[in-house]
Amino acid sequence: MARYGMLLNTRRCIGCFACRLACQMANEVPSDTSFIRYTGLESGTYPEVKAEQVMTQCQHCEDAPCVHVCPTGASHINADGVVLIDTTRCIGCRYCVVACPYDARVIDKDAGVAEKCSFCVFTDDGSVPQPNCERTCVTRARIFGDLDDPESDISKAIVKFNAKPLAGELTKSKFFYVR
C-alpha cells in the first residue's frame, strides 16, 4: 500500500487561490468555507523583507488526534494513510474539530457533520488519486505522491529541498513544507 502525502513549496506559491477554488468546486464546498487556508507571513526588516503564502489544510497525520477522539469511528485512516470522515457515521459532536491542531476541519452547515480535505479520494475514479489542488497549481507548488516510494516526485523533492512538516514534531504529519 502507498502512504500518500504532499509537499507544499511556499517559495513557488503566488497566492492565486487556484488550489482552493478547485478544492471547493470538486468537494461542493460553499464559497464561504474552505479546506485550504492561506496565511500571508512577512519576516525581516526594511529593506530586507520577505513575504510568503503558507497554505494549511488537513495534514493527514499518521497519529491523527482527530481520529483518536472520534466517538463513532467516523474519523478514520484508510489503508493508504489518508485521514477520512465517514459522514454517515459522524454525529457532529465537533470533538475532531477541537482536537485538530491545524484547524483543518469545518462543519457542513446543512448536514451538521465534519468535513475536511480527503486528497480527493472521493472525487477521483478510484485510481491513484491526484488531488485537484495539485492538478490546478500553475506554479507546481504542490507535489502529491507516495512517501514510501523513494523514486516518487514527492520523495525526491523532500530530499532536494530539505522539506519539513509545518509544526515540527507536533504530529506525524504527511505534509512537508519548503519555506
pLDDT of residue 124: 54
Residue 127: pLDDT over 70: no
Is the C-alpha dihedral spanning 173, 10, 22, 149 positive or negative? negative
Average pLDDT of the segment spanning 143-172? 96
Structure-block grid coordinates of residue 36: 485550504
**Strand-pair partners of 45:** 48
| Cβ atoms within 10 Å, residue 43 | 10
Residue 138: pLDDT over 70: yes
Residue 128: pLDDT over 80: no
Residue 69: pLDDT over 80: yes
78 lies in which domain range? 4-178
Mean pLDDT over each residue of the chain, to the nearest integer: 93
Report helix, strand and coil shares of the chain as percent, to nearest 5.
20, 25, 55
When divided into structural domains, the chain yields a total of 1
Answer whether 104's CB lies under 8 Å from 59's CB. yes
pLDDT of residue 59: 97
pLDDT band, very low/low/confident/very high, at 2 (cuts 50, 70, 90): confident
Answer whether 66's CB lies under 8 Å from 100's CB. yes
Average pLDDT of the segment spanning 73-81? 94
Average pLDDT of the segment spanning 104-116? 95
CATH (domain of 12): 3.30.70.20
